[in-house]
Amino acid sequence: MQPDGPYRYTHLLGGSPVGKAWAAIDGQGRFVTVAVLDAAVAASPGWREAFAGIVNHLAQAPGGLPFTYADFSAAAPWVAYPAETGPAAEKLFRALGVDYQPVPTPAPPPVSGPPAPVSGAPHPTSGPPRAVSGAPHPTSGPPLPTSGAPHSVSGPPRPVSAASQPVSGLPRQPIYADPVSGAPISPGLGPSLDDPPQHDPFTAPARRIQPSAPPKRQTGLWVAVAALLLAAVAGGGAGVWAISASGSDPSTPAPAPTATPPAPGLKPWAEATPRSAEERTLATAAPSMVFLEAVLTGFIRNRQDNALLHPEPFTFSRRCTGVVVNNDGHVLTNGQCVQPAPDILLEHALGSLADTRVADGELKAAEVSGFVRARLASSVFTGPEAGTPPAATLYGQLNVAKGDLKDGAAIPGTVVRALSLDEGNLALVKLDQANLPAVELNTSATVTAGTALHALGYGTTDTDYRSAAYQVLTKPVQVTELDVESSTYRINEDIGSSSRGGIVVDGEGRVVGMLDNDLLQPDRLNRLVVPVSRMTGLLDAAGVAHALGEPDRIYRSALDAYFGDDEAEAAARFAEAAEAAPMNALAQAYREASVAAGGEVPSSRPGWAVPLLVAAGVALVGGIVVVVLLRRRPNAR
């Protein structure tokens, strides 16, 4: 029976007493090897943890086995390796201390043996001899993918011209015929028309016909026509100057930045009905969302004598969501994500140490849990030196984000202040960049059971964890229950494991709470909401103001114009907002949508410019008509 999972399994590769290895194809047509731990074995104490630990240990070891995706929480835990890594599943099962038997490949059919010798000389035959049997032909090949990658069907509400595709190869050179050698020879034409006339001795020296006297010049009429044409040119120039000068009015907003803007982390027009109140809610809050990644590295020591329990450090990566609360770059997020408690870090480190010892044959898989519990009280997780904290780095990204990124769009950050789990599990982070789009906090929000809200947080659908791309995900949610003692409340939907530190907003896009792990539930999903009062309390304790900046107000006024169908005003205001806050990718996207819908910058030309230009054109045409009539008039005698 084939296991469950996001793959199309083709055939069995091998098996062991605790699981099997399968050949499979993923959704993009790539070949993978999937190692599956039997559900019955996974239910036994210690085997699920040992399976996950060995996978992580083999992936982190030098020259190890990196995997593309895994699900250790499934009934039958599994891990997928790229097919080109070789017998990864076999190495995994043998690292667990069990035997592995590959499925034998079918042998080719036997080739017929040599002919038996016969007495006497061979008799010749007509025609060449025929081969009795040839090399065996394979009857099956690698399975081919049956479907391609899905195509996006949503886009912004504007026409977008497709990018031109490069033409392969070099341009062809035209082939010309051979030139004709020599210059063309001109035939003799006799005397040229430009030659001086020959002397005619019979020509009379006096003229036979006398020319008539020239007509009188009509000076006055020509002066009037010239004045009319001059007035037409002057009036036209004045009108053109008035119209063109109005385009350079300093009050006109500057054009949008010419550099390629970042891709928005959320496209509100694709998540809601276009021009609806829901789209406006998402468009208001989405620019302020931040993807955060904290990386912590340290050593496990004996608490009494600081002796190292393992010579190599252990590194952990934690990814979550945050939201910008002012233009200076202050971000509110989940506390345990960016600054986990020491006991949580120590427990993770001891688990990794136990997995390492299982891989080295020094510990059995069933003994992992007991190993961790026995050393929690006598161990400590420190930095490179005893008594120092573990090394920590923190980076934030706006719009579309990418995991394991430490340059480019990744902005370094530091933790300013953090609250414990009992205090609210929040943290205040300062990013090293200003002019970031901020969100508004609704400090007077009233939340009851059944209140309709929107949840926003980062998530990914990529299977490669290390370099996965993250986007802002959103769902409409409802409040299911309130905890009066802690002032927290629960919602009915979860939007992914990386959404802790995300936000829930009201109908105007204002924050009313922050998402957190629901530790009291078995699934521990991010359906617990910390109220906005805890968020403002942390900001007040740190002395940090939460307020919209001028770019935020310009952007919101542009949304007012856009959803009020004033395309011209919206285009101008969005361009101004994009210039003031370049990280607001939605400002540029909505500007392009406004222009595509017919919006343009209002003109400030004077009212007399167009009539004057029309009058000048009429005068110019009239002057030309008069000149033509005068030229065609017969000369007076």
pLDDT for position 607: 57
Tokens 């006055």 belong to residue = 220
pLDDT bucket at 62, cuts 50 / 70 / 90: confident
SS3 string, 452-511, reads EEEEEEEECCCCCCCCCEEEEEEEEEEEEEEECCCCEEEECCCCCHHHCCCEEECCCCCE
What digits encode the pLDDT tens for the residues 108-152?
555 444 444 434 433 433 444 333 334 333 333 433 333 333 333
Q: Are 363 and 282 in contact (CB under 8 A)?
A: no
pLDDT bucket at 243, cuts 50 / 70 / 90: low
pLDDT for position 220: 64
Considering the entire predicted model, what is its pTM?
0.59
Q: Average pLDDT in the 585-592 region?
A: 95
pLDDT for position 412: 98
* β-strand partners of 505: 454, 511
Give the 3-state secondary structure of residue 541: helix
Minimum mean pLDDT range among 14-18, 96-100, 135-139:
135-139
DSSP assigned state of 63: T
Mean pLDDT of the chain: 79
DSSP assigned state of 308: B
Hey, what are 92's tokens?
């995994």
Q: Which residues contact 314 (CB under 8 A, 6 or more apart)?
A: 297, 298, 299, 300, 348, 349, 352, 353, 381
Q: Which of 59, 21, 14, 19 is nearest to 43 (CA)?
A: 19
pLDDT for position 56: 87
What digits encode the pLDDT tens for the residues 488-502?
999 999 998 899 999
Give the 3-state secondary structure of residue 71: strand
pLDDT for position 258: 44
pLDDT for position 519: 84
pLDDT for position 85: 83
pLDDT bucket at 28, cuts 50 / 70 / 90: confident
pLDDT bucket at 605, cuts 50 / 70 / 90: low
Is the confidence at residue 86, as pLDDT, over 80? yes
Is the confidence at residue 380, as pLDDT, over 90? yes
Q: Are 408 and 376 in contact (CB under 8 A)?
A: no
DSSP string over 350-419: HHHHHHHHHHTTSS-GGGHHHHHHHHTTTEEEE-SSTTSPPEEEEEEEESSEETT--STT-EEEEEEEE-
pLDDT for position 63: 79
pLDDT bucket at 221, cuts 50 / 70 / 90: low
pLDDT for position 422: 87
Is the confidence at residue 611, as pLDDT, over 80? no
Q: Give the helix ranges, DSSP H, for 196-276.
A: 219-247, 268-271
What digits encode the pLDDT tens for the residues 404-454?
999 999 999 999 999 998 899 999 999 999 999 999 999 999 999 999 999
What digits encode the pLDDT tens for the residues 505-517?
999 999 999 999 9
pLDDT for position 486: 81
pLDDT bucket at 613, cuts 50 / 70 / 90: low
Is the confidence at residue 365, as pLDDT, over 80? yes
pLDDT for position 490: 95
Tokens 């952007």 belong to residue = 555
What digits encode the pLDDT tens for the residues 547-573?
999 999 999 999 999 999 999 999 999
pLDDT for position 191: 41
The percent of residues above 70 in pLDDT, for the chain, comes to 70
What digits encode the pLDDT tens for the residues 262-303?
899 999 999 999 999 999 999 999 999 999 999 999 999 999
Q: Average pLDDT in the 360-388 region?
A: 93
pLDDT bucket at 383, cuts 50 / 70 / 90: very high
* More reliable by pLDDT, 140 or 630: 630
Give the 3-state secondary structure of residue 555: helix
